[in-house]
Amino acid sequence: MALFPTLGRQRAQQRYTCLEASGSTARYLYESVASGFRAELVVDGDGLVSDYPGVWERVEAGAR
């Protein structure tokens, strides 16, 4: 039995616009072209999302 029997994949048109960039962080506007969903994402110096407002925020180890 498959773990996710209805899980599928589909191509989604997305757009990312750099709003602000500094030495160690950047802010990008993410847009889903099909649905119109938009979110501003904060990205660290390695390009990994550290804050997805209203969805999740990265917590540093030992910060709890």
11-48 confidence digits (pLDDT tens): 999 999 999 998 899 999 999 999 999 999 999 988 89
Q: In this predicted structure, what is the pLDDT of residue 42? A: 92
Rounding to the nearest 10 degrees, give the CA dihedral for residues 17, 19, 25, 31. -40
Phi, psi of 24 (to 5 degrees): -115, -10
Q: What is the pTM of this model?
A: 0.70
Q: Residue range 41-56: average pLDDT? A: 89
Going through 1-64 in order, the beta strands assigned E by DSSP cover: 14-21, 25-32, 38-44, 49-52, 56-57
Q: Which residue has the higher pLDDT, 7 or 22?
A: 22
**Residue 62 pLDDT more than 80?**
no
Q: How far apart are CA 30 and CA 57, in angstroms?
A: 16
